[in-house]
């Protein structure tokens, strides 16, 4: 069969086409579609996914608290924002959300946040 392709002049062209194809394929990114359950149940990856979800959940609560304070009292200082972003307990952030709604001024809120 090889001789037949050589006689027709196709073998060099075919070789060139195959090599060109192989070069293109090696440049292509490899994509893998993973099922959510498989990823979350894989020990290391699952832990990282859970940690990421928890961090996102806490960041959402922190941002909500900052927005409530700014809506109620206007722009708040960077130090208070950083203090809020440093809180890593959902229960504490929930308590502070309620306090933010109840206090009459920003100074009262700052006293409450410093109590703990």
**Confidence at residue 93, expressed as pLDDT on a 0 to 100 scale:** 94
pLDDT tens, per residue, the chain with 116 residues: 555 545 455 666 667 777 777 777 778 777 767 676 666 676 776 677 777 788 888 999 999 999 999 999 999 999 999 999 999 999 999 999 999 999 999 999 999 888 76
Q: Which residue has the tokens 């961090």?
A: 55
Q: What's the whole-model pTM score?
A: 0.59
- Taking the CB of residue 100, how many other CB atoms lie within 10 A of it? 23
Backbone angles phi, psi at 61, to 5 degrees: -65, -40
Q: Helices (DSSP H) in the chain: which residue ranges?
A: 2-8, 10-27, 36-41, 43-73, 78-85, 90-102, 106-115
């Amino acid at each position: 069969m090889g001789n037949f392709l050589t006689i027709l002049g196709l073998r060099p062209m075919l070789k060139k086409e195959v090599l060109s194809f192989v070069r293109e394929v090696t440049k292509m990114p490899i994509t893998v579609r993973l099922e959510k359950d498989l990823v979350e149940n894989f020990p290391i990856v699952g832990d990282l996914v859970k940690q990421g979800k928890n961090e996102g959940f806490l960041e959402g609560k922190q941002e909500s608290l900052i927005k409530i304070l700014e809506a109620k009292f206007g722009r708040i200082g960077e130090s208070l924002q950083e203090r809020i972003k440093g809180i890593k307990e959902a229960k504490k952030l929930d308590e502070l959300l309620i306090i933010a709604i109840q206090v009459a001024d920003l100074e009262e809120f700052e006293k409450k946040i410093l109590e703990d």
